[in-house]
Structure 1
């Protein structure tokens, strides 16, 4: 028996060796994982796989994420991988949870040793050139949640073994060569599903009939949500409703002659009353619109809300409309009646910029019919329809605290800005109590209203071409502002300040106004758009503008406002929400559903999304300039146009 002292030494030695073995195990595993990644690089290449094979840990390589000394995520989307993935790589990457190889040019079949990645949750291999049947080993990966194999050349039957993947939520198999019927997937609870543009036939299984038509188009399928299959009967509920309708019709047909006569007489009386009412209203409106207002006789109201109340006009919020011709007249009256002799001399004068045509004056505004367009950061905007002249937008500024001399200097600098992507400022009016700005009227309203307004059946979806065009136009307008000097910025970039022409060309508005107003206008100015480094909303740098534009791009791509309720419940802003989703490779969940139907431009959408994330970087020195942003958007739009032209040419070649 060993002495007690020697026993302690032996125990300590054994414990040290065991601890060393435990600590060395991850290092050994990581070494084999490093070798597997380098083998992958040598097999399929890639323009951005500049991994340092000598010094850096693979955990520091681009696209590689580690936990507890193991590679758990490998993200290599759109990096020009080509050729076949050899067998023997994934057998050393057994801890993988996410694998993204989308948007490459990989060929052949998936390697069989991918079956070793039993922890795999997310597999993204869409937009490659992969072939063969769907490999059976996929159905032995029990943790799979998201599987995207779309836009490849997979063929053969649609396996019923997908039912083994009980955790699966996303299954995308569109644009392949799968054939035969779709099996019943009764054991799955899918959130996303798409098998469009395959060679499938038969009827759509009952459990999948809740997905939209776009999920099944381009096949020989029938049944809901597509047309009924031969032998199917209409919805029993519809049949019941039709039967009830027929019964009601029969009852109506049995009405007595007296009842019918009473209905006719009542209808005639109602129509006569309606005609008299319309005539009365039209005459009343005509009288209001054609009557002139005598500036000298208008009473000075205390506030704008009192003006509207005195004239019977409600306080209309953003997007509302009301007939407020008296409100604009009263604003002019305030300017005329309270500025002393000097103000009286200028009471009827608008100051126009440059060579702009003097097609109207302040008196014309008094006679114009007008409506409230909305209440914004800097004041209330009206649409004024002049009797003989253009339709203009009039903004009544609030909380202007600077002197007339300073106001004139600053607003003339704004009026001198001339670019096709800016809403031009045509004229202004200044008095002690009232400051008015006159702009060109933009008939399609704001980007905010277009994105978040009508969501009903009558809504026209905004396609990629329109959205990317709006992004480019807005970027050009902001780039122009920044080119006016290093200290020139917009300071209030948001979707409600991007206005649209009839052809959906973007025009940036409200530029140069941030320095005119007092602090009371700034607290809620750019909620969700303001860069993290901005402490005084009246002092915004060009890099802070870039951040706001990045948020605007994210809003354009996701369809979500920066202050979206679902985001705010978790206290997460739009940039951080997008980054968290993209980090998990759930790209399809980021984009607005209206954009997902345009799958041929998915690569350009992803590129614009990445540009938006770069613009909304936390630190200003990490953000691109607006000139770089404009060039990037131009390039991806050219790429999209070229793809469309190539596709048209390809289709024409087939037809010929």
Structure 2
């Protein structure tokens, strides 16, 4: 007895919507003339069969991608399970509700993104297991999930969901849930408070049991009154500022008129006398010698005769140099600043070495301070014309309010603070590693993008992902000069940066070790091989989250 043609046609149509489907070569009737199922035996890869019909699809870790069409499987009435975990699918959530008889859907560890429609799970009364973890979904959790009558397992962790958790109506059926590591907020619904606190961690704005932070409810009337009071205070302050500016403007205009009248009178009474221009202000810069160059004009050598620009040049700043060149304030403001990482690899490399040395010196000088520097980032490193770095903002962390420091100070964006709520003596090493990665990748400084550490989206994770996908050449900044002749050194320096960014504090390098490795790289630069095995970086790649025995058993049950 052969399987009806409709199932085979549906599977081939589904395969046609995929790209890189090399793993599905057995799904080709010209190569494999057998039907997909013979009784309970599968003739095509990735199928579960029962009585010559396809019961489930398990196409995991096959490198599949493309805009898959789940609608093509709607003609398979016996289909109960679809698993496409650990592939590279992108885009929005597929149209799952076109498979109303589905009982289990596994889409974890892909790159799906965007908001899920609120009715995405409408009309699926038999759906029992939903795995959407480790994707990039955003927006609110769809309310149609909360009303599924037979839902047993729900995994939404490691996404970007926002808003409040909906109230689940059939709480007695739920066995496993996980909402951790999202951007959810508000109180946890009473129907879900019997689950472990780990199911909700990683959402700073969630509150209530089983979490330890309690919810603070605001009286609506008090909130309106407080808002009204703030608006009145702002309006009062604005009125005062406008009044002060108006009075100041009137006084300035009156003074200007008086000066104009006085000047006009003097011009009529002393028409034959010469107008004496106030001397310009001379400013010493850091590069001036003790004595001016004889070629430079002295204050008493300037022509004090009348000219059309005399009035407009009163109080003008003039900067003198020993080589006879002069420039004013406008010239100084138009000068372009040196940007860390924008020069060749050699210059950037030099800056990194000296930067690391400076931090080591600070650690030796301040052994009792947990984080000697405490605010190491690219914007706190100034470069002179020879790319010699100067570190700024030493030891500011203890002087800043904790609430404000958590938003702007680098140690409070480190993995150890996100995981343990404290900083360590290796936090400066993590900041130094991020600095190395910013220089090599040319990425915008991470401390301006995120207010806290996120192991799923930080710069080190991105570099690890690129290395895992064998796209190491795409990591480096294309604007960095000299990359073509020093690729091996770049890769070694990249490895040092990743070692400094290790989330495990015990495995993270000491600052002294990082500096020694960079110095060794500098000494052996000319003799090092240019053939670098990208697989050496595999030990820095993040591993996939493994499921518990309970979840694994739930996964196996269809």
- TM-score > 0.5, shorter chain as reference: no
- TM interval, short-chain normalised: 0.3 to 0.5
Alignment TM-score, normalising by the size of structure 2: 0.36
Alignment TM-score, normalising by the size of structure 1: 0.32
